[in-house]
Structure formats: structure tokens, C-alpha cells
Amino acid sequence: MTRIAGVLFFAWMITTKSVLAADHLVTVTAGDKPVEQAVLTAELPADLVGKPLDLVDAKGKSIGVQEDKLGGKPAFTFIVSNIPLGKSETFTLKEGKSSATGGVEITKTEKGAEVKIDGKLFTIYQTNNGPKPYLWPIIGPTGALMTRSFPMEKVKGELRDHFHHRGMWFTFDKVNDNDFWSETPTAGKTIHNEFVSTTSGPVFGEIVATVTWQPKKGDKIAEDVRTYRFYRVNDARLVDFAIDMKSANGPLKFGDSKEGLFAIRVNEQMKVEKKENPGSIVNSNGDKDGAAWGKRAEWCDYFGDIDGQRVGVAIFDNAGNFRHPTYWHVRTYGLFAANPFGLSHFTGDKNNNGAHEVKEGENYSAKYRVYFHKGDTNAAHVADWYAAYAHPPKVTVK
């Protein structure tokens, strides 16, 4: 090839963008807690924006990476495992097709949206089966159903109380003096409007939907945008939930009530009130079982044996949430809810009013992470998983 031909060929490669982007080193450093598994997001280098991504470890193995957003800027999300306290691990981020297998797939259906992880059903976002949207069924890391089946299905041996306890959901008793919790004939409804987006990928799948808060009488009082993000983690299940709720007219008033807010009704086999081989409740302060009700804590865990295998579900309260650490409306019969508003009930002081008003034009926002795990609280390292959520390992990209 002549010199002129070589120059022209090089120019052609540039103009057709066939030159690969530079490789970048991504270093993850654990803090004062060891990292069992952590979901991390970092800003994406400009030369990799819009290109296929691959993230490989020191042995050259692809670990899975997915394009994302961080503060409105292009970013990438990945999951790291097993980094000892104070230690670092370096990965290479580069352009190219990843050889990592598996992922999370979101598919819209007549019921709402189906979530599969590595080809197996994890949950369904139900939009047409009751007066509110919710997740059900939820299949845990052992293949066991983590939630009660009633009222969606009638299963022998299950209690059929509290028919408004459906899978995992977000509602509240007193919003502008309207009941959205009980599902009684006079209660309001939270109605699914539309899917803003659904995303599938090797690291996470995501559902973004809008919901209307419609009282029994009168016009709608609020709308929200809620986001469920489902991660592909090893030997567990991990869900992030975020909600932005705004008034449809005037201020948004949350009353003092214990009935709410972000909740799950656990499998009957896990409940503390079970006569044989009962389950257990533990929070981040060490309060257990009935003593955990109404207490404030950064996280709370509910575990027990399902079909002979010990499993549990922990809910993490985000540090940015209103009145963090939240109060827990967690019952020994199986209800498990985070609630920052029911202060008079939780404290036993009628003068301690937990009502809260959101001014017109402002949003009520909240975030939670839900960790479905094997084993009890200690075996599942719940405190370490919370630490990875509240204080993620440091990420540097060069």
C-alpha cells in the first residue's frame, strides 16, 4: 500500500467511526464493609457513548454491563461481587460485544408486565387485577413464592384476612382525607395509566409507569410516576422502587395513620405467628419480632422457612426519604410495611401527629430497595447489603 493510499484508508476509518474507542480502567474500592454484591453506576466516558459495552475482570471474563443514566448524563451500571474490606478490584471497560450471559427481560402482557431473570419468572407487575397496581407473584432465590397468594388465589392453609394485602404495593390510608388502603366500598383506587417505558438488559430490567389516585367521589387528587428496577444478582433477588407523587390540585396531605405505605405481605409459612417453626423479624437496631413494630430503623428483615428452606425479605429505607430512618408497620401475622406517617400509633403518643403536607407544585418522593435472600438475617449478610446500598463502594474511571 502506498503512503497516499494508507493515509486515505486511515481517514476513511475515522469518518466511518470504525476505530474502536479507548479502553478504560474501572476501579472499585470497598469501604469499611466488605462487598458481597453491590450495584454500581458511574458516568460513561464520552468515547463510549452509544457504543456496545463490555466490562471484563482481571482474568478477562465479561461480568455484564448496561448503559444507564446518572444525573441525566450517560452512565453505565454493573454489579460487583466479593471485594474484601478496604480492598480494590479493577475492571476494563471497552467497546465490544459482551460474552456475559443471562439478564432481565420485561414483557408487556394482558396482566401488566412480566419480569423474567435468566429466563425464569420472577414477578408480574399487575395492572388489571384489583383496585391498585402491585407485584405478584414474587418468586424468591430458591424458587419459593415469597408472598401470600390470597386474595389473588385461594390456597389451602392460608389466612384470608386483609384482602387488600396484595403482593408488594404502595398505597396509604389517608391522602387528602381519602382512604386508598383498605379496598372497602368507600375506598379510593390507585389506577394504572400507562407504561412510560420498559427496559430489558444484561444487568437490570426496568418498568416506569404512571398511576392516578382516584377517590371514591370527586376528581383525581394525585398522580405518580413509579419505577421498578429488577437486578440480576447472584443467588438472590434485588428490586429498587422509586416513586414521585404530585398533587392534581392544591397541596397533598398525608394523615397520621399506621395503614401504609410501601408494603409486602409475606408468605404464610414465614410469619412469626406460625405455631410450628415460626419465622422472625429483625431490624437494624436489633429489635425482634413484635418488638420491631413501630420502631425506627434503617432496614428491617422478615425471614422464615418455606417448603423446608430458610429464606427472607429485607426492605432498605433510602437515606433521602422523608423521616429517615422510617418507622416499620411490621406485623407478626405477615404484613411488612415502611411508614413514615403513623407516629401517634407507633409512639403511643396521641399528641405526636405524624401528618405531613406537600405544598402545591412539589413532589412526595421515596425510594426503597428490597432484598429477597436465602438464609436468615445473618447468613444473608443483610447489614452488608444495606451498607452497599446506603454507602456504595467508590468507583473511579480512567
- Output the CA torsion sign for 154, 182, 226, 79: negative
The grid coordinates listed for 388 are 452497599
Asked if pLDDT for residue 6 goes beyond 60, the answer is no
Q: Are strands 112-117 and 189-199 parallel, antiparallel or unpaired?
A: unpaired
Domain boundary among 95, 125, 156: 95
Give the confidence band of 8 by pLDDT, cuts at 50, 70, 90. very low
Residues 86 and 203 reside in one and the same domain: no
Query: In which order are the strands placed within the sheet that holds 53-56?
Result: 53-56, 88-95, 24-29, 394-397
What residues contact 142, with CB distance under 8 A and at least 6 apart?
A: 306, 307, 309, 311, 374
Let me know if residue 82 belongs to a domain. yes
Write the CATH number for 65. 2.60.40.1180
Which of 191, 240, 327 minimizes the C-alpha distance to 39? 240
Q: In percent, how much of the chain has pLDDT > 70? A: 95
Tally of domains within the chain: 2
Q: Which residue has the higher pLDDT, 12 or 332?
A: 332
Residues 348 and 376 reside in one and the same domain: yes
Domain boundary among 35, 68, 95: 95
Give the pLDDT mean for 172-193. Answer: 97
Lowest mean pLDDT among 21-25, 238-242, 378-382: 21-25
Helix (H, G, I), strand (E, B) or coil at 11: helix
Q: What mean pLDDT is reported for the chain?
A: 94
pLDDT score recorded for residue 2: 54
Residues 146 and 78 reside in one and the same domain: no
pLDDT score recorded for residue 12: 42
Q: How confident is the model over 334-343, as pLDDT tens digits?
A: 999 999 999 9
Let me know if residue 3 belongs to a domain. no
Residues 63 and 196 reside in one and the same domain: no
pLDDT score recorded for residue 158: 87
C-alpha 392/C-alpha 361 separation (Å) is: 32
Helix (H, G, I), strand (E, B) or coil at 40: strand
Let me know if residue 376 belongs to a domain. yes
End-to-end CA distance of the chain: 36
pLDDT score recorded for residue 16: 43
In degrees and rounded to multiples of 5, residue 72 shows phi and psi of 80, -5
> In terms of C-beta density within 10 A (0-12 exposed, 13-18 middle, 19 or more buried), how is residue 115 classed?
buried
Q: What is the largest CA-CA distance in the chain?
A: 89
Asked if pLDDT for residue 19 goes beyond 80, the answer is no
| 3-state SS record for 214-254 | ECCCCCCCEEEEEEEEEECCCCCEEEEEEEEEEECCCCEEE
Domain boundaries, position 86: 19-95
Q: How confident is the model over 54-93, as pLDDT tens digits?
A: 999 999 999 999 999 999 999 999 999 999 998 999 999 9
Give the confidence band of 21 by pLDDT, cuts at 50, 70, 90. confident
pLDDT score recorded for residue 15: 45
**Contact 368/262 with Cβ under 8 angstroms?**
yes
Let me know if residue 4 belongs to a domain. no
Residues 87 and 128 reside in one and the same domain: no
Residues 67 and 178 reside in one and the same domain: no
Residue environment code for 308-325, b if the CB has 16+ CB neighbours within 10 A, otherwise e: eebbbbbbbbbeebeeeb
DSSP per position, 255-280:
-S-SSEEEEEEB-GGG-TT-SSS--E
Residues 60 and 114 reside in one and the same domain: no
C-alpha 80/C-alpha 179 separation (Å) is: 42
Which of 330, 279, 303, 299 minimizes the C-alpha distance to 140? 303
pLDDT score recorded for residue 7: 43
pLDDT score recorded for residue 17: 45
Which of 110, 113, 132 minimizes the C-alpha distance to 123? 113
Residues 70 and 192 reside in one and the same domain: no
Asked if pLDDT for residue 222 goes beyond 50, the answer is yes
C-alpha 301/C-alpha 317 separation (Å) is: 12
DSSP-derived letter for residue 50 is: T
Give the pLDDT mean for 104-123. Answer: 98
Write the CATH number for 304. 2.70.98
Give the confidence band of 157 by pLDDT, cuts at 50, 70, 90. confident
